[in-house]
């Protein structure tokens, strides 16, 4: 018997038209340039904080510091107010985040319940300030009348209620926690408050992490309210202290007056301190984002759900 060798024919891959290939490569190149345009300024600030002003101005530290120096960080952290501002910011961030969670979570849960009496009017009361604000002068007069000037509570209490966060929390409770849990809880004699504490909150870790992240980032980066309401330098947060470093040479001027440092030396120190201040102010938040990014993305999706 004669064996016949049969060739196995592999299916040919369809050749893509030149226009599709060119379009894909164009998209890849475009987005690569966009990513490079975002990453390089951040990288330049990092290498500039470890470089000398002469290397920065001459372009020698384009991709890597020519001479690594820690003089900018040394000058920055030699100021006592920097450490005090760091401590104040940590306290304001921790306390402010806890207050916002304690206020917004119950409010969002309450307006998500169908049995809430007057829910539409209460929700309207929350929504109006989201679009209409009194402005700086009425806010300042309100803070003054409450006796909160030069009080750390002026940075915590006014921002305790966030309408947007309440909307996101409301959407989460309505879409992510089944109503059958509430019906089963009623049959077991569970009250509304006990259901919120023992059942709803343990199932809401994602939204708690999202709102906590948003609140912490907002408080950490804030400086304007402190500039308006706090005259005591010992109460200033880190961002306001660093703003003074970036906009003036106060610390350097005092050092130069006492030690007869030349104007060029003061300018060089100021330049190094500016880049070091940028790194110091953003490093804690940048380090926390990789660990909380999944919750951040989930929070954006929760806020996009429509009823």
Torsion of CA 137, 141, 147, 148, to 10 degrees: -20
Q: What's the pTM? A: 0.74
- Count of H-run helices and E-run strands, the chain: 14, 0
Cα–Cα distance for residue pair 32/51, rounded to 1 Å = 27
DSSP 305: -
Q: Are 268 and 53 in contact (CB under 8 A)?
A: yes
What string of pLDDT tens digits covers the 307 residues of the chain? 444 455 555 555 567 777 888 888 899 999 999 988 888 888 888 888 888 777 777 777 777 877 788 877 887 777 777 888 888 999 999 999 999 999 999 988 888 887 888 877 887 887 887 787 778 888 889 899 988 899 999 999 988 888 888 888 888 888 888 888 888 888 888 888 888 888 888 888 888 888 888 888 889 888 888 999 998 888 889 888 878 776 765 455 444 444 545 556 666 667 777 788 888 888 877 777 777 666 666 655 554 544 4
Beta strands in 184-253 (DSSP E): none
Q: Which two tokens stand for residue 49?
A: 């904080």
Cα–Cα distance for residue pair 123/5, rounded to 1 Å = 78
Cα–Cα distance for residue pair 239/226, rounded to 1 Å = 9
Instruction: Provide the pLDDT for residue 263.
Output: 58
Residues of the chain with CATH 1.10.3720.10: 73-303
Cα–Cα distance for residue pair 121/265, rounded to 1 Å = 62
Give the CATH H-level superfamily of domain 73-303: MetI-like (1.10.3720.10)
């Amino acid at each position: 018997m004669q064996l016949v060798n049969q060739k196995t024919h592999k299916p040919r891959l369809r050749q893509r038209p030149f226009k599709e290939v060119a379009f894909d490569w164009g998209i890849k190149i475009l987005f690569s340039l966009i990513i490079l345009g975002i990453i390089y300024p951040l990288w330049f600030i990092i290498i500039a904080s470890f470089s000398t002003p002469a290397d920065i101005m001459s372009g020698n530290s384009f991709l890597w510091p020519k001479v690594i120096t820690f003089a900018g960080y040394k000058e920055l952290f030699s100021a006592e107010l920097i450490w005090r501002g760091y401590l104040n910011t940590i306290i304001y961030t921790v306390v402010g985040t806890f207050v916002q969670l304690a206020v917004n979570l119950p409010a969002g849960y309450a307006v998500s319940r169908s049995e809430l009496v007057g829910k539409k009017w209460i929700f309207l009361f929350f929504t109006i300030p989201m679009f209409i604000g009194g402005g700086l002068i009425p806010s300042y007069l309100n803070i003054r009348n409450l006796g909160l000037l030069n009080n750390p509570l002026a940075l915590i209490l006014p921002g305790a209620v966030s309408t947007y966060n309440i909307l996101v929390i409301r959407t989460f409770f309505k879409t992510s926690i089944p109503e059958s849990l509430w019906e089963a809880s009623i049959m077991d004699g569970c009250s509304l408050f006990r259901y919120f504490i023992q059942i709803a909150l343990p199932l809401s870790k994602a939204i708690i992490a999202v709102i906590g992240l948003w609140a912490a980032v907002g408080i950490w980066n804030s400086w304007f309210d402190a500039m308006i309401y706090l005259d005591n330098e010992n109460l200033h947060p880190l961002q306001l202290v660093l703003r003074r470093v970036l906009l003036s040479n106060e610390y350097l001027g005092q050092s130069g007056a006492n030690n007869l440092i030349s104007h060029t030396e003061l300018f060089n120190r100021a330049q190094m301190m500016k880049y070091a201040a940028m790194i110091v102010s953003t490093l804690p938040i940048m380090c926390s984002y990789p660990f909380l990014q999944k919750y951040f993305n989930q929070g954006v999706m929760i806020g996009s759900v429509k009823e």
